[in-house]
A and B are shown apart, each in its own frame.
Chain A
Amino acid sequence: DQQVKQNSPSLSVQEGRISILNCDYTNSMFDYFLWYKKYPAEGPTFLISISSIKDKNEDGRFTVFLNKSAKHLSLHIVPSQPGDSAVYFCAATGTAYKYIFGTGTRLKVLA
């Protein structure tokens, strides 16, 4: 039972354009959501997070949007840069403190 899903395994975007990565969840008890960036053979690096009391959080080129009614969140990267190429995981957590990860989306930013 995959509680956090990223339905797009890969995404290619031209440099300078917007990258939109999507994530869906099923557990309504999740109240905190995070995005991580991961390179091969390395641990994930935290990017940005959002609490369920908000619907948007922005940090530089990264913006996360949360739609609680749809149980959907997205990460927008604008403008996309070649260095953004990596695998992006969304994660969700709740009162149990466990962090549940999605399946990941491989982003490729083309120069």
Chain B
Amino acid sequence: GAVVSQHPSRVICKSGTSVKIECRSLDFQATTMFWYRQFPKQSLMLMATSNEGSKATYEQGVEKDKFLINHASLTLSTLTVTSAHPEDSSFYICSASKGSMNTEAFFGQGTRLTVV
């Protein structure tokens, strides 16, 4: 299957700082990328859908000013957690789709964010 690389895999930051997570599709062009958040023992909660060259579409309850998403190219999307707080600590996962209907989405390895 296609390869999606997410970086970093693990990050610890201080409260009030910002953290950027990168998601790259290595062997295909991803017109659509998705950002998920997973709390312990819970499902993957979709945060936002990003389309290359346009603004991301955020799910209800997700603060767009807090979770900045940029999809500047067909192979890269970034999620920036701004002014991080301990409650932002979570496992963040990106996925990428080739954009055509009825195809699987490919997932990155995930990023464990810990805000201290």
Contacts and interface: CB of A to CB of B under 8 A. Distances in A.
Nearest to A50: B102
Q: Please report whether the interface of chain B is mostly helix, strand, loop or mixed according to DSSP.
A: strand
A104 B43 contact: yes
B50 to A, nearest CB: 11
Instruction: State which size class the interface on A falls in.
Output: 20 to 34
A103 B42 contact: yes
A45 B102 contact: no
Interface of B: 1, 4, 6, 32, 34, 36, 42-46, 49, 91, 93, 95, 97, 99, 101-102, 104-110, 112
Nearest 4 CB-CB pairs, A to B? A43-B107, A101-B44, A103-B43, A46-B104
Given A43-B6, A99-B97, A104-B42, 5 more contacts: A36-B107, A44-B107, A95-B101, A97-B49, A98-B34
